[in-house]
Amino acid sequence: MRIYLDACCLNRPFDDQTQDRIRLETEAIFIILSRIETLSDWEWIGSDILNFEIEQTPDPEKRHRVRLFSAYIHYSIIIKQREIERALLLEALGFYPFDALHLAYAETGKASVFLTTDDRLLSKAKSYSDQFNIRIENPLTWLREVV
């Protein structure tokens, strides 16, 4: 199974863990990362835009820790014209540019699922679910179904 985790997922462990939802999503992300690390049937698909977003993290300690997570990426997709064209189509539907690029990369990488904790992105993706050949889901919701 190929999994694409966006930057929101990787940053979730650094959000306010006193909120139940955030704490549970963080635990789900840690479980997913653990399974990626230990199971050969779960592969993490990364991308240029994911690496770019990681490098834009202003806090050096947080950036370092997120980089450590990204060490488990199995494949990283490099931007090509195909991803740019797909992202532009998604932007026309109202997706933010980085979100559109993440989705385009996930499709190119043939991800089984695209995981995000971004409610706006999830809502928009559900509105246009017929436009995607991948599943777009919250990590906690998805993990509950597959484990």
CATH number where 6 lies: 3.40.50.1010
Q: Which residues contact 138 (CB under 8 A, 6 or more apart)?
A: 25, 115, 116, 117, 122
Pairing between strand 2-5 and 113-115?
Answer: parallel
pLDDT, tens digit only, all 147 positions of the chain? 999 999 999 999 999 999 999 999 999 999 999 999 987 789 999 999 999 999 999 999 999 999 999 989 999 999 999 999 999 999 999 999 999 999 999 999 999 999 999 999 999 999 999 999 999 999 999 999 998
The predicted model scores a pTM of 0.94
Q: Would you state the structure tokens that stand for residue 142, as one six-digit string?
A: 């998805």
Q: Which domain holds residue 64?
A: 2-146
The count of domains in the chain is 1
